[in-house]
Structure 1
Amino acid sequence: MAQVITNSTHDDMIHDAVLDYYGRRLATCSSDKTIKIFEVEGESHKLTETLRGHEGAVCPTERTYSPTVELKGHTDWVRDVAWAPTILQKSYIASASQDKMVRIWTSDPSRPNDWKSLTLDFDAVIWRVSWSLSGNVLAVSGGDNKVTLWKENLKGEWDCVKTIEE
């Protein structure tokens, strides 16, 4: 039987829910302008972080999930969220928003609930974000009918390395 979340702690509709590579953490994005990160352990789920700055919807379930983190920073609803594969030293999450921004959230393994973010600004609404299999390239698609590929440089800044348009 499918599991259903009855209490996501989001204040609005959830748009996406994604498990990390190992299925230990769940990231949800919502019209309430937040991303919430849940620790998943057997039958229990605990909110560890809330990333603020998005809006979205909730998905009902039979289990109660408590976020371990809430990440905030978007000024409009969050359309998409994606974990980078965990072969990297840091944890990376990318979030796409109606506010024409992508936020790249990073957390060091020594401080797993301390998330920092940087912003990539665009001229149009952002629809989707997706990481390469190695986790070092981020694909971004939006309302301008372009797909851009981004890569972190040695200074920790993100550079657009390719633009694909019709």
Structure 2
Amino acid sequence: MVSWAPHESGCVLACASSDGHVSALEFRDNNWTHQSFHAHGMGVNSISWAPAAFAGSLISSNPGPGQQRRFVTGGSDNLVKIWEYNAESKSYNLTQTLEGHSDWVRDVAWSPSILSKSYIASAAQDKTVRIWTSDASNPGQWSSQTLEFDTVLWRVSWSLSGNILAVSGGDNKVSLWKENLKGEWEKVKDIEE
């Protein structure tokens, strides 16, 4: 899997590898730099960048530190991991490990929304999608809600506005999910074609 960083971060490409490594390639000053680091014990299945701005920065009177360069990975070790770039050391550091899946994490997707919450969706071989939520008032604290399915799940993808989640699985169906006013996730549509 490969994923381009938000344009605010510059020309940066992250690559997930079955050998357990993540590679980050950056083009700056007419030159490519490359770094690779071990991310998951049994292989990295997916990678997704966070929005360049922190959650809540558009609606806050104190917008916070500004630009960020973070991504999330999902691995064959059943874990979801959040990585953040450190400008001083010019390296990516593990900032959080999210546990809850009981089988391979097949896909992860970081919602592009930068309103009051950050959302990460993870789809797994264990027939669940977990929606991880972090509130702007308490960054770094993640809670999750579990959506259960009857089949293994392959991919998750957020709408451009970041409020609708598409989930595809081994049954050749796509379902669309949206958070209601109570903070619960509801299926709004099944697509079978």
TM bucket normalised to smaller: 0.7 to 0.9
Answer yes or no: is 1:136 the counterpart of 2:163.
yes
- d(CA) in 1 for partners of 2:72 and 2:36? 13
Could you tell me which residue of structure 2 aligns to residue 3 of structure 1? 34
Identity %: 60
In structure 2, relative to structure 1, the CA distance for the partners of 1:44 and 1:145 (3 Å cut) is: farther
Q: 1:39 aligns with which of 81, 84, 97?
A: 84
- d(CA) in 2 for partners of 1:152 and 1:6? 35
Answer yes or no: is 1:27 the counterpart of 2:72.
yes
- d(CA) in 2 for partners of 1:111 and 1:35? 19
- d(CA) in 2 for partners of 1:3 and 1:99? 34
User: Map of 1:78-93 to 2, 5 A cutoff?
Assistant: 78-93=105-120
Higher alpha-carbon deviation: 10-19 or 26-35: 10-19
- d(CA) in 1 for partners of 2:179 and 2:104? 25
The answer for unaligned runs of 5 or more in structure 1 is 46-62
Runs (4 or more) in structure 1 with deviation over 4 Å come to: none
Name the count of aligned residue pairs: 147
- Deviations 1:112-149 (Å, cap 9, x if unpaired)? 11100000000011100000011110000000110000
- d(CA) in 2 for partners of 1:135 and 1:66? 26
Answer yes or no: is 1:18 the counterpart of 2:63.
no
Higher relative contact order (CA 8 A, sep 6+): 1
- d(CA) in 1 for partners of 2:88 and 2:176? 38
- Deviations 1:37-56 (Å, cap 9, x if unpaired)? 011233647xxxxxxxxxxx
Q: Which amino acid aligns with 2:76?
A: S
Answer yes or no: is 1:113 the counterpart of 2:113.
no
C-alpha contact 1:103 1:119 (8 A) present in aligned 2: yes
- d(CA) in 2 for partners of 1:76 and 1:137? 25
User: Map of 1:24-103 to 2, 5 A cutoff?
Assistant: 24-42=69-87, 44=89, 65-103=92-130
Alignment RMSD (CA, Å): 1.5
Structure 2 SS opposite 1:70: strand
- d(CA) in 2 for partners of 1:76 and 1:126? 11
Larger radius of gyration: 2
C-alpha contact 2:176 2:189 (8 A) present in aligned 1: yes
Structure 2 SS opposite 1:66: strand
- d(CA) in 1 for partners of 2:152 and 2:188? 20
Answer yes or no: is 1:146 the counterpart of 2:166.
no
